[in-house]
Amino acid sequence: MAKLSFHHTDGAVDVLEVDTGTSVMRAAVTNGVRGIVGECGGQAMCATCHVYVRPGYLDDLPGIGDDEEEMLDCTADPRDADRSRLGCQLKLGSGLDELEVDIPGSQV
Ligand code: FES
């Protein structure tokens, strides 16, 4: 299990315990976390799962693939050069046993 926290723009926080291998997007959609859409189902083709990873976790993240890199230029809210990631490309576990992300104000 891994701990995943979603910070909303209004200050609310959703904290989930999720199975290893679950993506940030899938965890959000499955548990009704508002602000994450996941329109393409996790194929890195929509950018509606955009999140800003909190600074303390940046060193633990996997690298950014070509598809993710391309879609991060299509986010509704501005891309942050260091913190923006696609939630569908971040899977919990394998060194990422805890993660906190900020949800952008808009996804579409
Ligand atoms: S769910 Fe579409 S890019 Fe992540």
Q: In this predicted model, what pLDDT tens digit does every residue of 27-74 receive, in sequence order? A: 999 999 999 999 999 999 999 999 999 999 999 999 999 999 999 999
pTM score, two decimals? 0.97
Residue 2: CB atoms within 10 A of its CB come to 19
CB of 53 within 6 A of ligand 1: the answer is no
Give SS3 for 28.
helix
- The pLDDT, as a whole number, for residue 95 is 85
Q: Which domains are seen in the chain, by residue range?
A: 2-102 (3.10.20.30)
Give the tens place of pLDDT for each residue, 61-107: 999 999 999 999 999 999 999 999 999 999 999 889 999 999 999 99
CA 48 to chain centroid, in Å, comes to 10
- Ligand 1 mutation pick, 23, 43, 85, max ligand atoms within 8 A of CB: 43
User: Strand 2-7 vs strand 13-18: parallel, antiparallel, or unpaired?
Assistant: antiparallel
CB of 92 within 6 A of ligand 1: the answer is no
Round to whole Å and give the CA distance between 43 and 46.
8
